[in-house]
Amino acid sequence: MRLRQGKYRDVTSYSNDPVKVAKDFAKQGAKYLHLVDLDGAKQGITSNFEIVMAIRKAVTIPIQIGGGIRNFDDAFTYLNSGIDRVVIGSSAILNVSLIGRLINEFGSERIVVSMDVRDDKVMICGWEEKTKIEIDKFLLILKKLGVKLLCVTDISKDGMMSGPNFELIKKVLVFDFKVIAAGGICSEGQLIKLEAMGTYGAIIGKAVCEGRIKIDRNYLTKRIIPCMDVKDGRVVKGIHFANLRDAGDPVELAKFYSEAGADELVFLDISATVEERNLLYGLVEKIARAINIPFTVGGGIKSVEEVQQLLCTGADKVSIGSKAVLDPSFITDIANQFGTQCIVISLDCKKATDSWELFINGGGLATEIDALKFAVEMEKAGAGELLINSLDRDGTGDGYDIELLKEISKVVNIPIIASSGAGSSEDFLKAFNYGCADAALAATLFHFGKLQIPSLKKYLSDQNITIRI
């Protein structure tokens, strides 16, 4: 079962067979099981030991258990009965010496401290009692005790499906704990962002039970995305959006990329906005039928009806550029009707003296809008991802604008896609490691055979980048 904001009176029951649910989670690909003895948390004693042991026998993946573990004997019993970690919450406040004793006995990798926060104060006893302890002070105490693993929950987010408290998690990460994020996680994009921030793990409950997130070991991989700029029915590519060269038939090229191992595909009708015409729906439908990977379509989208038609035609996501700048409320309208997961905002950025200016109409019109501020605005409006195009780097092969990527990643909590300037495998590595990108998009390198996707992925995997092979 799941609570909302830790309230025992606000509970949703999903199954009467916890063992079966645990087996299902493990079968789907969960790497770890997080169990909570809700009765124990409220009463201060372990109450579901037999069920926990039944789960332990049913699955082979690691298990951590919390709730009602208030003394050494309870922790000892679990840790010597096959449980991999115990989670200590209230006793980290009420019995501080217990933490030190457990770490001395079992090591810091088997003891997790749960920091449950409401209104910037630490909560205890099943989240029902507020302490006067401030977060920073509590974290310093834990550091002195040798705590390494810390589970962080903003209680106001728990069960609300509104996303985790990224700011709280960033604050805790500064103290150099292995942070396990919990509370409110409801989308793949949020998991990707948590990983990019350096979070050690994430606990998901309600989102899995309600089918919003499907457990998959590949969720937190970096993505490689070929981009097809289409003009007059052909794939083209140039430098700084000029001197376009023909790169082939879009349907055949899309099929090639799908079979070559691309993670997603982007189709941009680059002249639709300037020519003030509708997208090429027939071509979009042909491409969608030829591939089996997620497919983003953009170019000239200006109405909710067009978004609906694209999604019905076969697109998985839509990329919005100029329209988002001219009418930010349009993004909220799409999000409300179709969900944030299908919205990619395309930002065409050019370096100014000490900032980046946003451009529209295919990079041809300056707006005097600060790109970073607009990125924040788009996240609030309902964007699911940001596609970051550098007009300075487009088609040059000089590498992604790492500084731009890094600065945008600092101000938003949604995934960002690096675009413009890739010239080598090393450029992708830098985008992931230094630019904090969640995905990397390229065109020239792939279209003209300068780099093959399988070899790129092998290189990235060899460099310890989590990537689908």
Predicted pLDDT of residue 372: 96
**pTM exceeding the 0.85 threshold for the entire prediction:** no
Only one residue has tokens 């052909």, namely: 234
- Which is catalytic among the residues 158, 229, 401, 438? 229
Strand partners, 235: 230, 248
* 374 within some domain: yes
- Give residue 451's domain range: 223-462
Strand partners, 372: none
Predicted pLDDT of residue 417: 95
* Whether residues 311 and 359 fall in one domain: yes
* Whether residues 176 and 303 fall in one domain: no
Please state, in angstroms and rounded to a whole number, the distance separating the CA atoms of residues 215 and 234: 38
* Whether residues 238 and 154 fall in one domain: no
* Whether residues 258 and 194 fall in one domain: no
* Whether residues 320 and 425 fall in one domain: yes
Q: Is 39 a catalytic residue?
A: no
* Whether residues 138 and 21 fall in one domain: yes
Strand partners, 150: 113, 179
How many domains, the chain?
2
49: left (phi over 0), alpha (psi -120 to 50) or beta: alpha
Please state, in angstroms and rounded to a whole number, the distance separating the CA atoms of residues 51 and 191: 29
Please state, in angstroms and rounded to a whole number, the distance separating the CA atoms of residues 461 and 221: 10
The domain that holds 411 is classified in CATH as 3.20.20.70
Strand duo 121-124 + 129-134: pairing? antiparallel
Predicted pLDDT of residue 190: 80
* Whether residues 141 and 231 fall in one domain: no
- Which is catalytic among the residues 348, 394, 401, 438? 348
Predicted pLDDT of residue 128: 57
* Whether residues 161 and 241 fall in one domain: no
Q: Is 348 a catalytic residue?
A: yes
* 215 within some domain: no
Per-residue pLDDT tens listing for the chain (469 residues): 444 444 444 445 556 788 888 888 887 778 789 998 887 666 767 778 899 999 988 887 889 998 888 889 999 999 988 889 999 887 777 788 899 999 999 898 899 998 888 776 676 654 555 667 788 888 998 999 999 999 988 877 665 566 788 888 888 898 889 999 988 887 777 887 788 788 888 888 777 776 677 665 444 578 999 998 887 667 765 454 444 556 678 899 999 999 999 989 998 886 654 455 456 788 889 999 898 888 899 888 889 999 999 988 888 889 999 999 999 999 999 988 887 778 999 999 999 888 999 999 877 899 999 999 999 999 989 898 999 999 999 878 899 999 999 999 888 878 899 999 999 999 999 999 899 898 999 988 898 889 999 999 999 999 988 787 7
* 218 within some domain: no
Distances (CA, A) of 322 to 28, 38, 78, 366, 409: 40, 50, 57, 11, 21
* 63 within some domain: yes
Predicted pLDDT of residue 28: 76
* Whether residues 230 and 368 fall in one domain: yes
* Whether residues 197 and 164 fall in one domain: yes
Residue type, 383: A
Please state, in angstroms and rounded to a whole number, the distance separating the CA atoms of residues 467 and 223: 7
Predicted pLDDT of residue 273: 47
Residue type, 332: T
Strand partners, 267: 228, 297
* Whether residues 187 and 267 fall in one domain: no
Cβ atoms of 152 and 132 within 8 Å: the answer is no
Predicted pLDDT of residue 130: 63
